[in-house]
Structure 1
Amino acid sequence: MHRLFLIDELMFRIFALILGSDWLLNLLEPYSGRRTVARLARTCKTFEQPALDVLWRFQRTLDNILKCLPPSVWEMRQGNRDNGWVGGIRIVQPVTIEQWARARTYARRVRILDLDWALLSPDNSCFKAMQSCQVLTGELLFPGLQEINCNIVPYGYEEILFASGPTVHSVRMPEHIVNTPFLRPLCSILKVLTLLPEDTRTTTTAQVSELCLLLTDIQHLQVPDLDAAALRHVSQLPSLLGLYLFMDDISAFGSIPSGDLPFPNLGSLQFYRSTIDFAEHFLQRLAPGRPISELKVETRVPAKVDAMRRLYATIGDRVIPSTLEKLYIGNWTEDGHNPTPAPPRSAIREYLVDEDAMRPLLQFSQMRELTLHTPAGFCFGDETALSIAEAFQNITELALTSGTTLHSNIPNLTLNSLWAFRIFCRQLRSLSVELDASVNVLLPTQFAAPLGQPGASAWRLGISLNVEISPIYGSKAVARFLLSLYGERAPRITMADEWRWDDPDGLDVLLEDDEELDFIHDARSYYKTWTAVNRLLRSPDRTWLDADDDDESDEESGDDMWGEDGWSEADE
């Protein structure tokens, strides 16, 4: 045996690669990698211990530990979801220290418990037996445990915290665990604490805040809410790198003066189920010059342009321009099928974001991912698009769209705005923007490649273009424009909520408003024409380039946006 195999770290890496080397095989046969590692462990003594460490390191259920007990002390029972138990192992008689010996041997190797409510779950008798074991032996059942993750679990699972010790650095569980006494002793050593909000609040702001006051070395904190005292406390921790809040109540920190929260090393700040006003008031409390690299504001409450302008300005005032790389302000990502409600049509102009509102964001030259969803879209033109492209030359993902699809605003941007992103944003892979493709545009000759040819400065990346609900009349003219701009790397085109426009019945039966019905019908017409553009761009036959623009056959386009033959090899 070569002496290199005596290095534990090297063996661990080898076995870890075996576990995840063939993703397709693991998908079809989830335990194939584990079986391979087990076979290697049996080939020689050198492989045995590191292989066991890898096999037991990550556990998604407690069943594997409990099944190490003699079969006479446990049974597998079918559960009853009505009473909060989906079934699993149940302890049927007292377990002696001797009977725990084998289970304890393997439990020492466990580092991560990722317990899933969807899997078979032990009932409370198992937790009581575990506690009894620790009382009898005077030792922790999982002395090397580092992470505990429980997403949606029944009450009782929080008791697993009693079996963990000073090695635990990450806890992710529903918010009701703040009421268990086993969490408090861990607060001084935790690096990551995630309290998942529940549909029906089981805790108060005071309870969550009281727990957070015990944190001293936390790096990432996600909680439903915090009061002013707890917020002041965590803002002074130099260890805090990420703060994630489910809050929309401005009064929670009304007593904190502007610029009073230091957050010296905060890199990620994210608000979920929040409002634009809350985010703006929170950012006002930050000291200027914060090194934030990722900022997210998720909301379903429409905000007028004045509120958006204040938020953008505050971001520009509080965040170091050279650090911000990811900015998301828009719909809940967890609720993609239920976007922000549309603002009243009579007040649509009050919700349109203009160039002046955008200007404070243009200083963030290192931006790589920018998503701005506004209630009614944007009202700036092609010149502003040029300014945006020049400002964000490192951008890879850009989305400037309406937070709702049921609106009647005609975008000011034309197809001609795309050349700015084509020239200045050389790393751009995904672009979502509303365009007016119904007007005639002429690509500047200095930027255009010969039709159908890649050109000297060809676009080297396959780009995805989401046009939302963009008006378009005439597929050939638009296809020519895109082909001359991008060459054979012409973008993949999609529309927002395609299922609505592809359904012959769609939402018609649900809508009584004539304007909404007209919008639905227009959107379906746009969908057909954009589909035709896709088919022309993907077609190997380029004879249409010389065809008359009046000879359109949009209605004969396919049933989807992808074309019969899918994407060309150039797009892969």
Structure 2
Amino acid sequence: MHHALEIQEIVFYIFGHCDQPSAGSAADLAALARTCRTFKDPALDVLWEKLPDLSPLARCLPEASCLSFSGEIEWDILRSYARRVRRLDALDGISRKSLKRLWKPLTTEPLFPNLRRLYFDYTHRATLLLLTPFPSLISLRVKVNKAPPLFEDSIKSFARTSPNLNILIIHGPGINMNHIDPTFICKWQNLHIVICPQISLDLITLVHLSCMPALTSLSFMLYRTMPDEVSTSSLIFSKLRHLSLNSELLDPISHLLSRIQLPVVAHFVASIRSCPSRQDLSSFLAGVQTSDPSYVPEARPTFGFRDLRPYMTFTNLRHINFNVACKVDLTDSELLTLASAWPRLEVLDINRGWGWNTQGGITPNGLLQLLQTCPSLRWIALVIDTRGYTTIPPSLPSLGLSMPRTLCIHALDSYIEAESVPAISAFLAGLIMPSSHFSLCAWERQGMAWLPNRVVCKVLWKDGCPHAIYSTRRYDKVV
């Protein structure tokens, strides 16, 4: 056996590819588990990682277990499999037989100590599932087709026994859950997503959620207007990007928006059942303006030549990828100094995920010298400085350059004006060799969404430049 197969992480990764939605995948993993001791645990971990329902676990116990308590040995076998379960999709319901087997007898230790995700339809028979502790659970999704009387008590108990939840989704089409006390949500201290479109959140719960440092998505119902004494300073959702509000009338939504701050919300949905009056619409628009102040992004440190210079010692580098939540400050001379140490460079990616957040960047002449210094370079992500670049450059083939047959340029958050489009397009057209593949894109990543001039610059790079390149010179493809 190869030594690499004795490393469990490698074996687990390989076996993960066996877990495909095919008829023989479970049998293959079971066979691997019986092959040798090295393969047993990784194969069983993959085999039991996701369960469509509880029936596979129930089948581990003898038939008599549903009528009487099982022996300790039988429960040890059951726990050896249950501890491997990471995700349970019980959306199609839980059979009564499965419940009888798994909760007789009730154990003092968690049956699923490593369960991370739990999705199921709530019925009266599923109450036991919410009364079971899941110490590692981070995601809960419950579909309530009808609200049984025990649902509120069981969800409150669940908040105490499963304290590490990040994602909470409780939904039920057409189900009225306004009687449920929402303060059970306050038991969780690190929520990222809260989707409860039929549950009305009170002021205490909203204040608690506004303190969540990682809350990015929120959906709930408004049955009544928030009290006037709400202070906007106590309801600042600093990281919230997705907000959905449901209400019978528009007025409660307008009132709430006038008392909360949503500095970075990117998606907002307000759903109402009755037709609003003109006055209601005016109040709503006024509330939106109040809740969405001009966003001033947090100051970012600057990343530059001094940070990259230590990597010049690696002279055989072919792929370089730096992505950090920082500004980037590089001049032509600094980039060329760096490139001189990497003559075999094929891929140069400098902060494609976040952009440079600068009006400057690398000039077209600097980009040309970079391609001369690194003739194998075929994939580039940097900011191109187009300020004042309005003069059509001379034909590049006359300079004796040999361009790669494939060239992809990500212009990131490069600022550009309409006056510079013809000149920069002529320059880029000169980089395209006959029968070559050339692609160009800019302003693509979410990390650049808040930067100024994003929409105009993206249109000019995406539509204006390729059209001008096509008019300037024939090419196989410009994306």
Range of TM-score over shorter length: 0.5 to 0.7
**Counterpart Cα distance in 2 of 1:298 and 1:456:** 50
Secondary structure of 1:19's match?
Answer: coil
- 1:480-528 per-position Cα deviation (integer Å, ceiling 9, x unaligned): xxxxxxxxx9xxxxxxxxxxxxxxxxxxxxxxxxxxxxxxxxxxxxxxx
**Counterpart Cα distance in 2 of 1:297 and 1:52:** 46
Residue 97, structure 1, aligned to residue 72, structure 2: yes
Give the conservation status (yes or no) of the 8 Å contact 1:112–1:145. yes
Aligned 1:204-223 pairs, distance under 5 A: 204-205=179-180, 207=181, 209-223=182-196
Change in Cα spacing, 1:448 to 1:31, as seen in structure 2 (3 Å) is: closer
TM superposition shift of 1:62: 0.3
Residue 65 of structure 1 corresponds to 57
Give the conservation status (yes or no) of the 8 Å contact 1:178–1:211. no
Residue 424 of structure 1 corresponds to 459
Residue 371 of structure 1 corresponds to none
1:173 corresponds, among 99, 120, 142, to 142
RMSD of aligned Cα (Å): 4.2
**Counterpart Cα distance in 2 of 1:8 and 1:274:** 55
Residue 284, structure 1, aligned to residue 258, structure 2: yes
1:266 corresponds, among 233, 240, 254, to 240
Residue 91 of structure 2 corresponds to 116
Change in Cα spacing, 1:131 to 1:448, as seen in structure 2 (3 Å) is: closer
**Counterpart Cα distance in 2 of 1:394 and 1:102:** 54
Change in Cα spacing, 1:67 to 1:313, as seen in structure 2 (3 Å) is: same
Aligned 1:155-170 pairs, distance under 5 A: 155-170=124-139
**Counterpart Cα distance in 2 of 1:61 and 1:184:** 22
**Counterpart Cα distance in 2 of 1:196 and 1:461:** 47
TM superposition shift of 1:255: 4.5
**Counterpart Cα distance in 2 of 1:13 and 1:215:** 32
2:164 corresponds, among 189, 202, 218, to 189
Residue 37 of structure 1 corresponds to 29
Give the conservation status (yes or no) of the 8 Å contact 1:110–1:142. yes
- 1:12-66 per-position Cα deviation (integer Å, ceiling 9, x unaligned): 332223324xxxxx3xxx4343344334434443222111101101111100000
Give the conservation status (yes or no) of the 8 Å contact 2:210–2:234. no
**Counterpart Cα distance in 2 of 1:426 and 1:116:** 46
**Counterpart Cα distance in 1 of 2:84 and 2:296:** 40
TM superposition shift of 1:147: 1.8
TM superposition shift of 1:460: 11
Tell me the amino acid that sits aligned with residue 258 of structure 2: Q
**Counterpart Cα distance in 2 of 1:40 and 1:459:** 52
Give the conservation status (yes or no) of the 8 Å contact 1:15–1:37. yes
Change in Cα spacing, 1:95 to 1:427, as seen in structure 2 (3 Å) is: farther
Residue 131, structure 1, aligned to residue 106, structure 2: no
Change in Cα spacing, 1:15 to 1:188, as seen in structure 2 (3 Å) is: same
State the percentage of identical aligned residues: 21
Residue 439 of structure 1 corresponds to none
Aligned 1:4-19 pairs, distance under 5 A: 4-19=4-19
TM superposition shift of 1:10: 2.9
TM superposition shift of 1:188: 3.6
**Counterpart Cα distance in 1 of 2:296 and 2:11:** 38
Residue 295 of structure 1 corresponds to 268
Secondary structure of 1:46's match?
Answer: helix
Change in Cα spacing, 1:233 to 1:304, as seen in structure 2 (3 Å) is: same
Runs of at least 5 residues in structure 1 that lack an aligned partner in the other structure: 21-25, 75-90, 325-392, 397-419, 429-445, 463-488, 490-572
**Counterpart Cα distance in 1 of 2:474 and 2:253:** 41
Residue 81 of structure 2 corresponds to 106
Tell me the amino acid that sits aligned with residue 108 of structure 1: R
Residue 523 of structure 1 corresponds to none
TM superposition shift of 1:308: 5.3
Aligned 1:146-157 pairs, distance under 5 A: 146-150=116-120, 152-157=121-126
Change in Cα spacing, 1:66 to 1:460, as seen in structure 2 (3 Å) is: farther
**Counterpart Cα distance in 2 of 1:2 and 1:230:** 56
**Counterpart Cα distance in 1 of 2:476 and 2:292:** 33
TM superposition shift of 1:183: 0.8
Secondary structure of 1:104's match?
Answer: helix
Deviating more after overlay: 125-134 vs 158-167? 125-134
TM superposition shift of 1:2: 2.8
Runs of at least 5 residues in structure 2 that lack an aligned partner in the other structure: 298-441, 446-454
Secondary structure of 1:52's match?
Answer: helix
Tell me the amino acid that sits aligned with residue 297 of structure 1: A
**Counterpart Cα distance in 1 of 2:88 and 2:194:** 19
Change in Cα spacing, 1:187 to 1:69, as seen in structure 2 (3 Å) is: closer
**Counterpart Cα distance in 2 of 1:449 and 1:116:** 50
- 1:457-479 per-position Cα deviation (integer Å, ceiling 9, x unaligned): 999999xxxxxxxxxxxxxxxxx
Give the conservation status (yes or no) of the 8 Å contact 1:108–1:142. yes
TM superposition shift of 1:68: 0.5
Secondary structure of 2:19's match?
Answer: helix
TM superposition shift of 1:157: 1.0
**Counterpart Cα distance in 2 of 1:155 and 1:9:** 41
Tell me the amino acid that sits aligned with residue 102 of structure 2: M
